C-alpha cells in the first residue's frame, strides 16, 4: 500500500512502540541504500518535504537525511508491506548515501546485475563537459548530437546483422555497444533511461 497522509494511521504502530523500520531503495537501480526508523512525525515530514526523514533514536529527534552533508534522498514514493509493519521508500539519492562516502550502507554486498545500467548512466553523465582526450565518452559528447545519433544508428544495424548471421556472441557485444551509445544519446538530450522505462511501464498498464 502506498502511504499518504491519510493512510499513516493504518500502520502497525503498536508493534514497536510507535516506530517502524524503513528501508530506502534506489528508485532506478533497485539498490538498498540504507535503513532507519520512522515514527508518524517522520513520515509526515517525509511526505510534506519530499525528502526522506527518519526518527533518530540516539538523539530523540527527527533527522532529514542530508541535512548536514547535503546528501539527501529525494522521495519518489513510500509504501508498506502486507502486515503494515515495515516501510520501503523509493528515492533518488543526491550524492553518496552512507556516511562513509559510499553509494549505499552495504557497499560491498552483491549487486543486482541490472543495477549496473544505472551506474553506467551516471558515469556517462559525469563525462559531459570533460576533456575529450580523457575518455571515449567525453569525445562523443564533444562530437555533437548528430554524431552520437549516427553511432546509435550504426550500432543498431550491426546488432541486427549479428542476429541475422546467427552470431550470438557478436549479438551480445553489439547489443552492449547499442545500449552504451543510447545512454550517451539520452544524456546529450538531457533525458535519462528512467524516463524511457517510465514510458514502458505506462504502456504495460494497458
Q: What three-state secondary structure class fits 22?
A: strand
Pick the range with the lowest mean pLDDT from 101-105, 174-178, 179-183: 101-105
pLDDT, residue 126, reads 92
Find out if CATH 3.30.70.360 is the number for domain 8-93.
no
More confident residue, 40 or 107: 40
Per-residue pLDDT at 203 exceeds 70: yes
Q: Rounded to whole angstroms, how far apart are CA atoms 44 and 176? A: 43
Instruction: Name the fold adopted by 115-205.
Output: Helix Hairpins (1.10.287)
Query: Where in the chain do CATH 1.10.287.1080 domains reside?
Result: 115-205
| 33: nearest Cα among 114, 99, 129 | 99
pLDDT, residue 194, reads 87
- What confidence category does residue 158 fall into, taking pLDDT thresholds of 50, 70 and 90? very high
Exposure class string for 10-42: b at 16+ Cβ within 10 A, else e: ebebeeeeebbebebbbbbbebbbbebbbbeeb
Q: Rounded to whole angstroms, how far apart are CA atoms 206 and 201? A: 9
36 neighbors 54 (Cβ within 8 angstroms) = yes
- Model pTM score: 0.73
Query: Where in the chain do CATH 3.10.20.810 domains reside?
Result: 8-93
- Percentage of the chain beyond pLDDT 70 is 99
pLDDT, residue 206, reads 62
Pick the range with the lowest mean pLDDT from 82-86, 110-114, 127-131, 134-138: 110-114
Q: How many CB atoms lie within 10 A of CB 125?
A: 15
Amino acid at each position: 500500500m502506498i502511504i499518504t497522509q491519510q493512510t499513516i494511521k493504518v500502520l502497525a504502530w503498536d508493534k514497536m512502540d510507535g516506530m517502524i523500520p524503513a528501508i530506502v531503495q534506489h528508485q532506478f537501480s533497485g539498490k538498498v541504500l540504507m535503513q532507519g526508523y520512522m515514527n508518524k512525525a517522520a513520515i509526515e515530514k517525509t511526505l510534506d518535504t519530499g525528502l526522506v526523514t527518519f526518527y533518530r533514536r540516539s538523539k530523540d529527534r527527527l533527522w532529514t537525511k542530508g541535512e548536514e552533508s547535503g546528501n539527501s534522498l529525494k522521495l519518489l514514493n513510500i509504501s508498506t508491506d502486507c502486515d503494515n509493519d515495515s516501510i520501503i521508500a523509493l528515492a533518488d539519492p543526491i550524492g553518496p548515501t552512507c556516511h562513509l562516502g559510499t553509494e549505499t550502507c552495504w557497499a560491498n554486498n552483491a549487486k543486482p546485475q541490472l543495477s549496473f545500467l544505472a551506474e553506467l548512466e551516471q558515469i556517462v553523465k559525469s563525462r559531459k563537459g570533460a576533456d575529450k582526450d580523457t575518455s571515449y565518452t567525453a569525445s562523443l559528447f564533444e562530437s555533437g548530437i548528430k554524431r552520437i545519433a549516427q553511432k546509435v544508428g550504426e550500432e543498431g544495424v550491426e546488432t541486427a546483422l549479428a542476429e541475422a548471421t546467427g552470431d550470438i556472441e557478436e549479438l551480445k557485444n553489439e547489443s552492449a555497444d547499442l545500449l552504451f551509445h543510447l545512454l550517451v544519446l539520452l544524456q546529450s538530450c538531457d533525458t535519462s533511461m528512467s524516463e524511457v522505462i517510465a514510458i514502458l511501464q505506462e504502456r504495460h498498464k494497458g
